[in-house]
Structure 1
Amino acid sequence: MLDKLSLKSLLLELFIVLIVASVIGFFFHQPAIAIILGLLVLIGWHFRQLLRLSHWLWTDRSMTPPSGRGSWEPLFYGLLLMQQRNKRRRSELRSLIQRFRSGAESLPDALVLVTEEGNIFWCNGLAQHLLGLRWPEDSGQNIQNLLRYPEFSRYLQQRQFTQPLVQALNNGQQMEFRVMPYSDQQWLIVGRDVSQIHQLENMRRNFFANVSHELRTPLTVLQGYLEMMEQGEMPPASQQKALASMQSQTQRMAELVKQLLTLSKIEATPAYEMRQQIDVPHLLEQVYHDATALSEGRHQVICDVDKTLSVRGNEEQLRSALSNLVFNAINHTPTGTTISISWQKTLYGAEFKVSDNGPGIAPEHLSRLTERFYRVDGARSRHSGGSGLGLAIVKHALGHHGSKLRIESQPHQQTVFSFQLSKAHILSEGH
């Protein structure tokens, strides 16, 4: 291992040259000239080493410095060690950058690194997907030229980043932007897709507004009749009519509360309660009797049930799904409609189907039927006692069983509500 260059080694080198030159000069009886020549040789040798170093620094493309002798050996060796250290550091830096980028790619947020002027010098894959950026094509581009939103530009220009900015994009997504200083004169822009949160918040507001409206209507009816009775101005015949209406509104509120509790319970049901053994044919037998009682002979109800087809899941939720689908067909189809109930094994699992030949449903309503409180005909639904929550309950119950509700309707021909449970839910005959 070489030591660093020191004054002692330089003086020793000079002393050796002077001694050798003096000895040579002594033999030729010209010591002064020999010493001068020796110093000139030493200076010329140092000039040569300097030229070698300059050639390596400016011309030679080799990463390894030239080898040296004497006092230049520790210098060249030191340069070699420095090159090796820099090489290791560059390797570590590349590894660190790679780990950073790998970690950034796995984050659930869009990340964009920009200068304070807004020029992009890196972005992750999610930023390319959510914001439409391209990498490395957009390197050096100003982000305000690529995200052309006045609110976003003002947010960057004002440089008040204590609060995030929620920006609606042209594709309908809601993005939440946060900007943080990343390093000297650089910013880290973090974008998160909050479309689902925004949608859930809107659904929550609509839900409470709908619940308030649904409860306010029967309460207003009850309050009006009670005030009339309190004033004693209502004849006996009108009192009987008022009592019947009050009882109907009370039952409507009770049914609404019951449906809300059912929906809340279904949403909170843990996964381990989905392993019950369910005798679906027996459930459908009960649902059939309840449906015929509800119909009071106004509909023809036909059943086609595989008596051996039982499944695994949550019995209470499946009962709610089956009964809501059948009772909806009873409540929302006119007298004389034929309603068919089917529970059969298919190539893909077990299929439940409720079909009717009633007036049907217009196509623009089909995608929204499972929304809470959505009604195709609000006045008719309220008259039949519907809460607007039945299909929402069906949707969540089926979702817990890994299934989806399918709705098909041809106006004045046939309407079909169906779902399918996978083969994994079917119980073998041994069970």
Structure 2
Amino acid sequence: MGWLIPRLLATVLVVLAGALVGMALGAVSHWPAVGALLGAAVGALLHAFFDALRAHRFMDWLRRQHEGAAPRDAGFWGEVGYRVERSVRLLERRVDSEHARLDQFLSAIEASPNGVMLLDANDQIEWCNSVAADHFGLDPQRDRRQRVTNLVRAPVFVAYLQSGAYDDAVSFAGPGSRGTISVLIRTYGEGMKLVLSQDITERERNDAMRRDFVANVSHEIRTPLTVLAGFIETMGNLPLTEVERRRVLELMSQQTTRMQTLVGDLLTLAQLEGSPRPPADRWVAVQRLFAQVQVDARALSAARHTLNFNGGETAQIAGAEAELLSAIANLVNNAVRYTPSGGNVDVSWTQRGDGAGELRVRDSGIGIAREHLPRLTERFYRVDGSRSRDTGGTGLGLSIVKHVAQRHGGELEVTSEPGKGSSFTLVFPAPRVRSSEPATQPQQVDESIDRIGTA
């Protein structure tokens, strides 16, 4: 109300001033009263004119969407302009702040690994992030305000959207059969819907692999257990000769060893998957690994093969010795098992020009068909199941080798051809490979001592 009294006083003063001027002019013509009335009227009109002019400037500023500053007039309109401008600027700052928060919120949703899509009450797309657009095969800009069921025609999704029962998620094949999409819908506001999508292709693949793994383990353990149970029943119910009894005990021992090997490989895999990566500052000599593997390989071969170990005299690998030994032993033992008598098994170490190291196990065995090569490192995958079991394999050896290679930053390369043997190569990166100085030979030491004595 601070503007009311000054405005009234200004009006009264203008009218009085006009009346006085009019009275003075009217006195000349002997009509002072008439002159006073005319002067008051003229003063009131002038005051109203200038007031209307200030109001017009203010309204023009409002019509121009508040461009620039409000008119800086004195009095009532100046006060109105100042207060309106302040309110407008405050509102603009609040709107800008809300826009910034909205942009930040949408940016956060855009960065989400899951898909987010907003639908209005008519199931039209209000907004979606790029992940949801990829899941549903949409264009985030072009498809706005389009009805989602006109664009996503998967029967499972359409039925789920129209059912109104959104307690559980549904899954269906994504566009172009690129994978499996899981969708969950939540309602909000006046019929609005929040559609959350997730690519579960990898999860389903892992679940399938886990189910297959459990089924394979159960099968692999059940087989020797069934054999053992049969032998135990045979020994308990039938009179056996000493030769038959020894044969049964030998077969029972083989099945027990097979189960022990299987359990050992399973524990090795579990340890590889659950333990931290091998240290990069603990060096293991390749020759030391070769020496240990060679003993086991010769015992397994029983002089039926020619075994050659070459290279690696000064080479060292950074990592876990037990893991490296397990990987190399699996490769060499497989080569011995699947190479007929009289064949060759060559184990070699070479260092590439880029510093990486290659440990290659090559055999002259039966070889592997091309279609089996991509699946060789899968758990329990066998090219020939019966033959693998006859040789004592568990189907986990190459899976262990692959895990060891990956944990040491390397990879496993396989080349093979039926009837021409196979080649398995462990490639270790340059940071995990080095060469040590060769040890001084005894003869060189003796010669050095002789030279010193002569001098």
Q: Are residues 1:355 and 2:362 paired?
A: yes
Matches within 5 A, 1:279-428: 279-348=285-354, 349-428=356-435
> Could you tell me which of 76, 87, 92 is aligned with 2:92?
87
Q: Distance in 2 between matches of 1:146 and 1:31?
A: 82
Runs of 4+ in structure 1 deviating by more than 6 angstroms, as ranges, are none
- By how many angstroms is 1:315 displaced? 0.8
- By how many angstroms is 1:428 displaced? 4.8
TM-score (norm 1): 0.90
Percent identity, please.
34
Match of 2:166 in 1: 161
- Cα RMSD of the aligned pairs, angstroms, is 2.6
Change (3 A) 1:159 1:68: farther
Change (3 A) 1:430 1:153: farther
- By how many angstroms is 1:412 displaced? 2.3
The C-alpha deviation readout for 1:249-304, integer Å capped at 9, x for no partner, is 11111111111111111112213645421112111122122112211233222222
Q: Is the 8 A contact 2:228 2:252 kept in 1?
A: yes
- By how many angstroms is 1:232 displaced? 2.8
Match of 1:244 in 2: 250
Name stretches of at least 5 consecutive residues in structure 2 with no aligned partner.
Answer: 27-31, 439-455
Q: Is the 8 A contact 1:109 1:191 kept in 2?
A: yes
Q: Distance in 2 between matches of 1:63 and 1:112?
A: 40
Q: Is the 8 A contact 2:124 2:146 kept in 1?
A: yes
Match of 1:18 in 2: 15
Change (3 A) 1:26 1:184: farther
Match of 2:43 in 1: 38
Q: Is the 8 A contact 1:5 1:74 kept in 2?
A: no
TM-score (norm 2): 0.85
> Could you tell me which of 176, 182, 193 is aligned with 2:182?
176
Q: Distance in 2 between matches of 1:137 and 1:384?
A: 62
Instruction: Tell me which moved more, 412-421 or 40-49.
Output: 40-49
Q: Are residues 1:62 and 2:59 paired?
A: no
Q: Are residues 1:104 and 2:86 paired?
A: no
Match of 1:211 in 2: 217
Match of 2:193 in 1: 187
**SS of structure 2 residue aligned to 1:112:** strand
> Could you tell me which of 135, 141, 149 is aligned with 1:144?
149
Q: Is the 8 A contact 1:344 1:352 kept in 2?
A: yes
Name stretches of at least 5 consecutive residues in structure 1 with no aligned partner.
Answer: none
Match of 2:233 in 1: 227
Q: Are residues 1:134 and 2:139 paired?
A: yes
- By how many angstroms is 1:107 displaced? 2.5
Q: Is the 8 A contact 1:359 1:411 kept in 2?
A: yes
Q: Distance in 1 between matches of 2:253 and 2:236?
A: 17
**SS of structure 2 residue aligned to 1:371:** coil
- By how many angstroms is 1:13 displaced? 3.6
- By how many angstroms is 1:135 displaced? 2.9
Change (3 A) 1:242 1:272: closer
Match of 2:450 in 1: none
- By how many angstroms is 1:234 displaced? 4.6
**SS of structure 2 residue aligned to 1:405:** strand
Q: Is the 8 A contact 1:371 1:392 kept in 2?
A: yes
Change (3 A) 1:63 1:120: farther
- By how many angstroms is 1:383 displaced? 0.9
Q: What residue identity is the alignment partner of 1:17?
A: V
**SS of structure 2 residue aligned to 1:265:** helix
- By how many angstroms is 1:374 displaced? 0.8
Instruction: Tell me which moved more, 40-49 or 72-81.
Output: 40-49
Q: Are residues 1:76 and 2:73 paired?
A: no
**SS of structure 2 residue aligned to 1:116:** coil
**SS of structure 2 residue aligned to 1:427:** strand
Q: Is the 8 A contact 2:71 2:78 kept in 1?
A: no
Q: Distance in 1 between matches of 2:249 and 2:278?
A: 46
Q: Are residues 1:260 and 2:262 paired?
A: no
Change (3 A) 1:65 1:150: farther
Q: What residue identity is the alignment partner of 2:131?
A: L
**SS of structure 1 residue aligned to 2:171:** strand
- By how many angstroms is 1:363 displaced? 1.8
Instruction: Tell me which moved more, 254-263 or 335-344.
Output: 335-344
The C-alpha deviation readout for 1:58-111, integer Å capped at 9, x for no partner, is 467835444434311112222322332233223323322332233223322222
Instruction: Tell me which moved more, 97-106 or 348-357.
Output: 97-106
Instruction: Tell me which moved more, 278-287 or 224-233.
Output: 224-233
Q: What residue identity is the alignment partner of 2:181?
A: M
Q: Is the 8 A contact 1:165 1:176 kept in 2?
A: yes
Instruction: Tell me which moved more, 383-392 or 6-15.
Output: 6-15
